[in-house]
Structure 1
Amino acid sequence: MPAFTFLRRSRPDRAAVARAARHLTTALAAALVLGALLLPNTLTALAPGRFVRLPAEAVVGAVVLPWLPRPWARRAVAVPTGLALGALTVLNLLDMGFTEYLGRRFNPVLDWELFGDARSYVADSMGGTTAAWAAVGAVALVVVLLAGLALATVRLGEVLAAHRARTAKGALLAGAAWITCSVLGLQAFGVPLAAGQAAGAVGAEARQVADTLRDEAAFAKEARTDPFGATPPDLLVPALRGKDMLFTFIESYGRSAVEDPATAPGVGRTLDAETRALAEAGFRARSGWLTSATYGGGSWLGHSTFLSGLWIDNQQRYRTVTSGDRLSLTRAFQKTGAWDTVGIMPGVRKVWPEAAWHGLDTVRDAAHLGYAGPRFSWSTMPDQYALEAFQRLEHGRKRDRPLMAEVILTSSHQPWAPVPHLVDWDAMGDGAPFGPIAAAGERPADVIPDQAASRRAYGRSIEYSVTCLTQWLRRYGTDDTVLVFLGDHQPIARVSGAGASRDVPVSIVAKDPKVLDAVARWGWTEGLKPAHDAPVWPMSAFRDRFLTAYGSTPRPSAE
């Protein structure tokens, strides 16, 4: 009898628990769908006030789903709707990440192949295990979002259908409220109460895809029209004949390094000190600004923009130009037959077919510079070692012709931990002296999450890279050495600051006064530090201006 009484009493309790579970499931489904409908695509817009608005898409869903005649019909609409909403949420999250790190939205046509580079970066910075778990977590998040939103949409459709009368009244009131808020422009927390976030995002993605496809054809046509494409070899850079020509990119060397209060004092002192040291060694410099086609990453886009004279801001443009016949600035020297050409590429660790477009007779990549010391996070070797290896293997060799070199310096690549420091140039060996420096340096895991620490480390890395390069020039440069060095892009927004420009410093350094006299009309600043109001050009403008300044005769190629 007591057991029977207990069972009778427990039945209503279990029914209450079941009702509570159903209500909780419905509430969670509604929160998930509303959150997805209202989620912005930038971190700066991610604030609680964004989620107290009324989405038009929810009103439409409340009108459509309950009145579908059969459960299977509701599911046939709800499941793809939920999957689409899940996909849109994933795209919004990708936009947040890309905007934070690359200063632009994710491109659903072109950017998928960048995930491999992202995984490699995490593995190099944080270790292979962390990279593997990060990849697993990303895939799991995508699956959860897609499945969760599909199930949530089905659940809401069934609940709304079970209460059609109340749903109809609620949808009518919600629709009237949305129209009123929209017409009157009512706001809460600085954002409109009437939202059309999801529909607007879908439209923006569709436009981006259409623009990308149109751009591919237009850019291919633009790339085929080259002002110097048919210039004979003897009419290319005649004013630089006999000079050793060096084009050097310093990773992430942006305007922020020179002007941001967090980094400018140290970097400014370094630029001023090295300008004086170069002057004592007989070198002069002029500096200006270039606006990079990329931001925060994608260095190859900056390199190819600088060298091609075209604006290359996505992977499709990069593939188009590097697989075509467009004359790169470095290949112009190879085309003359008057220079040996070499690339010093410590960041290249796999097959690099683009070397042909760059016009490089010899490529010294990470495996062919003789380095046996420790990695410095993403950077395979310190810049000082890469430059000394360049001297030992190429620049210091006896030659019948001068040398044109493209040099990529990587020590200032994020995450800026550990940052190397200078060692005795004569005691570098195979890199062993850098072992204790790497072991004693900061760990990426300590720097990456700390914005202030990242900025300090970034500043130190730029000071190091600039000092390595200018010391190398003072040590090994001659009366016939001409150095052009620049940044490829600004550092990520977390370091450069929200709304930072895409400008990077560029400098020309030489002993021969005729070299700098040729660019006197450019209005660039004396020394290595460009003035705040020095001329700013698109990076794509440099190739043609440089070729023209040093005597090249334009002969356009046929389209």
Structure 2
Amino acid sequence: MARGCRAALTSGAALLLFLASVLPNAAQDMRPAAFARIPAEPIVAAAVLLALPRRARLWVAGATGAGLGAVTVVNLLDLGFGEYLGRGFNPVLDWGLLDDAHAYLVDTMGRTATWVATVGAVAGAVVLVAATGAAAVRLARLLGHHQGAVHRGALVAATAWICCATLGAQWAGVPVAADRARAAVEAKAHLVRWTLADEAEFAKEAGTDPYGATPADLLVPELRGKDVVFAFIESYGRTAIEDPVTAPGVTGTLAARGEALAAAGFRARSGWLTSSTFGGSSWLGHSTFLSGLWIDNQQRYRTVTAADDRLTLTKVFQRTGAWDTVGVMPGVQKGWPEQDFFGLDRVYDAFELGYEGPKFSWSTMPDQYALEAFERLEHGRERERPLMAEIILTSSHQPWAPLPERVDWDGLGDGSLYGPIEAKGHRPAEIAPSAARSKEEYGRAVSYSVTSLTEWLERYGTDDTVLVFLGDHQPLAKVTGPDASRDVPVSVVTRDPAVLSRISNWGWTEGLRPGAAAPVWRMSAFRDRFLEAFGSVASG
């Protein structure tokens, strides 16, 4: 019995270290062939440990095994980030995003289940590192008793590895010779070095602004007297328009709403922008669009928002002195010091829009309500100057359950009527685990948001209203698939033909749906193109 237990422990230790050595860090690589490989790391470790005295051998084995466990934890983080954000984990920048992941899980699973999952994940990581360390020590102890057999086994394994690597041997398209752990460490080390170097380089770039010193009277002179609204629709990506599951509903909505707007005298032009983010971190897309800088990580975001001399697209209107500037941000539920950077005289957060109804998962209120509140509090008021507004619409935020429904605009009140709608909707746990159902509900959510925004424009827009709306990023990779672009639709809608004539050379598609061949710009290019189109003069 005892001998059998020892043999089982030894076999388990060897299996654990083997799996840790070959574990892929991307979901699409998780297939049987990935685990039918010869890892180089255990072969090298065995050779090194055999050359060490017993005490040093155990210490080195424990440290090496624990290090392999830490690499495995990072690989698992890569898997999670790839599934949701379409990229790997950045060990310098991404720890802060774990708080956002926790908040998302609270909205999806509930607070108790989230805390259980969080404690389990942390405990699991600690146990994994300790287990790989202990497994390495156990095997190291056996090396001294079986040195001859280990020498021969390592020599055979090394020869097989070298032959497979030299010949390029593969099974099911996967190289048989593996060095996954080493490659993972090297890749993360390179990423860390690049991230640290990028901070200084980006700070210089952010400090150079061709419109930074432009006199106020030379900024957007062709928009004077217009109410200008920049609206972001959460997760409104190219997938919504082109995916076979989501496209029929979304493109149908765009067509129907385009016809309704046309009947009300509005015309639209649409194109594509490549977002700096994917699947989440919406603020990176917002700041990229408004600042004219490529902001694809939290470090860059902190750098640019701390600067005083970067002129954001929204701040342009504030600097002219010719507009009142406001932000409508129902997703903001805490202090937001970036208000000054974005040039907003007043910001309405989740607690200042008068909403008394239920949350819809992550979204604090339905988009239709937020837009009606904007009309009541700002757009519909008598004012001495025109209005520039930045509006963040959140109803299409994952997990797309439960979803609000369109209601009569005159009956919105304080939002209490949404109680029964929220109660009868799907629960996040019903939708989030299924890619197919997530796609379906995602399409419904985007249609709802587009409908809410365009109905607001149809209902309250005037001859002097200019609406620019776009997606901030694509939805998570579970919905888009692993190889999706980062493109999002962008549209300019107005009754004034002179406004559209200013962008006639952009080559955009007529209507709310950008054509497949419409130009694709980096999102950071929009600010300067917009400023130039409406008469702004660069200062240098």
Normalised-by-shorter TM-score class: over 0.9
Residue 4 of structure 1: aligned partner: none
1:218 and 2:201 are equivalent in the alignment: yes
SS in 2 for 1:479: coil
Q: In structure 1, what is the Cα distance between the partners aligned to 2:352 and 2:84?
A: 31
> Could you tell me which of 481, 504, 529 is aligned with 2:513?
529
1:456-495 CA distances to partner (integer Å, 9 max, x unpaired)?
1000000000000000001000000000000000001111
- Looking at structure 2, the residues matched to 405 and 130 of structure 1 have their Cα atoms a distance apart, in angstroms, of 38
Q: Which aligned pairs between 1:510-525 and structure 2 lie closer than 5 A?
A: 510-525=494-509
Q: Does 2:325 correspond to 1:333?
A: no
Find out whether 1:484 has 2:468 as its counterpart.
Answer: yes
* Counterpart mapping for 1:360-371 below 5 A: 360-371=344-355
Within the candidate set 457, 468, 474, 2:458 is matched to 474
Q: 1:99: Cα distance to partner?
A: 1.0
2:274 counterpart of 1:316: no
Q: Which residue of structure 2 aligns with residue 20 of structure 1? A: 4
User: Which secondary structure does the structure 1 equivalent of 2:488 belong to?
Assistant: strand
Q: Per the alignment, in what secondary structure is the counterpart of residue 337 of structure 2?
A: coil
Structure 1 residue 276: Cα displacement = 0.6
1:19 CA drift (Å)? 1.1
Q: For residues 83-126 of structure 1, give each alpha carbon's deviation from its aligned partner in whole angstroms, at most 9, with x where no partner exists.
A: 11111001100111111111111100011011111111111222
2:416 partner amino acid = A
State the Cα distance separating 1:188 from its structure 2 match.
1.6
- The Cα of 1:189 is off from its aligned counterpart by 2.3
Q: Is the 8 A contact 2:238 2:488 kept in 1?
A: yes
Q: 1:501-549: CA deviations, max 9, x gaps?
A: 1000000000010000000000000000000110000000000000000
Aligned residue among 182, 200, 206 for 2:165: 182
The letter for the 1-side match of 2:450 is V
Find the residue that maps to 1:294 and give its secondary structure.
coil
* Residue matched to 1:267: 250
Partners of 2:165 and 2:249 lie apart in 1 by 51
3-state SS of paired residue (2:28):
coil
Matches within 5 A, 1:150-169: 150-169=133-152
What secondary structure, in the 3-state scheme, does the structure 1 residue paired with 2:447 have? helix
Partner letter of residue 215 of structure 2? P
Correspondence 1:504 to 2:488: yes
Letter in 2 for 1:366: A
Deviation per residue, 1:25-77 (Å, 9 max, x gap)? 1110000001001011101101121111111111111111133212x211210
1:359 to 343, 349, 355: 343
| Structure 2 CA distance for aligned equivalents of residues 89 and 553 of structure 1 | 53
Identity percentage of aligned residues: 65
Tell me if 1:372 matches 2:356: yes
- Of 128, 144, 149, the residue aligned with 2:127 is 144
Look up the match of 1:13: none
Please state if 1:85 is matched with 2:68.
yes
Distance 2:453 2:183 in 1: 48
TM-score by length of 2: 0.99
Q: Match of 2:538, SS? A: coil
The equivalent residue for 2:50 is 66
Task: Give the one of 273, 289, 297 matched to 1:306.
Answer: 289
2:535 maps to which residue?
551
Q: What letter matches 2:295 in structure 1?
A: I
1:284-433 to 2 correspondence within 5 Å?
Answer: 284-324=267-307, 325-433=309-417
Aligned residue identity for 1:414: Q
Per the TM alignment, residue 360 of structure 1 is displaced from its structure 2 partner at its CA by 0.4
Partner SS state of residue 25, structure 2: coil
Aligned partners of 2:14 and 2:135 also within 8 Å: yes
Q: Using the alignment, how far apart are the partners of 1:552 and 1:347 within structure 2?
A: 32
Q: Counterparts of 2:156 and 2:25 in 1: how far apart (Å)?
A: 29
Q: Number of aligned residue pairs: give it.
A: 539
Asked if structure 2 preserves the Cα contact closer than 8 Å seen for 1:423 and 1:433, the reply is: no
Of the candidates 423, 431, 435, which is equivalent to residue 451 of structure 1? 435
TM-score, normalised by the number of residues in structure 1: 0.96
Corresponding letter in the other structure for 1:170: G
Aligned residue in 2 for 1:111? 94
Deviation (angstroms), 1:339: 0.3
1:304 corresponds to which letter in structure 2?
A: S
1:50 corresponds to = 34
Q: Which residue of 2 aligns with 1:125?
A: 108
The Cα RMSD (Å) is 0.7
Long gaps (5+) in structure 2? none
How much does 1:265 deviate?
0.5
Instruction: Kindly indicate whether the alpha-carbon contact (under 8 Å) linking 1:219 and 1:317 is maintained by their aligned counterparts in 2.
Output: yes
Q: Secondary structure in 1 aligned to 2:389?
A: strand
Matched to 2:191, the amino acid is Q
Structure 1: distance between partners of 2:433 and 2:251: 26
Distance 2:414 2:304 in 1: 37
CA contact (8 A) 1:66 1:158 kept: no
Equivalent residues of 1:286, 1:524 under 8 A apart: yes
Q: What is the CA distance between 1:356 and its match in structure 2? A: 0.7
- Return the match for 1:252 from 215, 235, 257: 235
CA distance in 1, matches of 2:526, 2:145: 67
Q: Secondary structure at the match of 1:406?
A: strand
Unaligned runs of 5+ in 1: 1-16
| Residues 410-443 of structure 1: CA deviation (Å, up to 9, x unaligned) | 0000000011111110011100111111011111
Deviation at 1:388, TM superposition (A): 0.2
The one-letter code sitting in structure 2 at the alignment partner of 1:175 is A
- Cα deviation, 1:330-374, whole Å, max 9, x if unaligned, reads 000000000000000000000000111110000000000000001
- Alignment partners' CA distance in 1, 2:144 and 2:236: 59
SS at match of 2:273: strand
Show structure 1 runs of 4+ deviating over 2 A: none
Q: Please name the residue that 1:283 is paired with.
A: 266
* Aligned-partner residue type, residue 528 of structure 1: L
> Any conservation in 2 of the 1:253–1:488 contact (CA below 8 Å)?
yes
Check whether the contact 1:252–1:491 (CA below 8 A) recurs between aligned residues: yes
Per-residue deviation, 1:402? 0.2
AA matched with 2:342: H
Secondary structure of the structure 2 residue equivalent to 1:169: helix
Amino acid at match of 1:416: W
- Verify the 8 A CA contact 2:86 2:482 in the aligned structure 1: no
Kindly indicate whether the alpha-carbon contact (under 8 Å) linking 1:63 and 1:168 is maintained by their aligned counterparts in 2.
yes
Shift of 1:141: 1.0
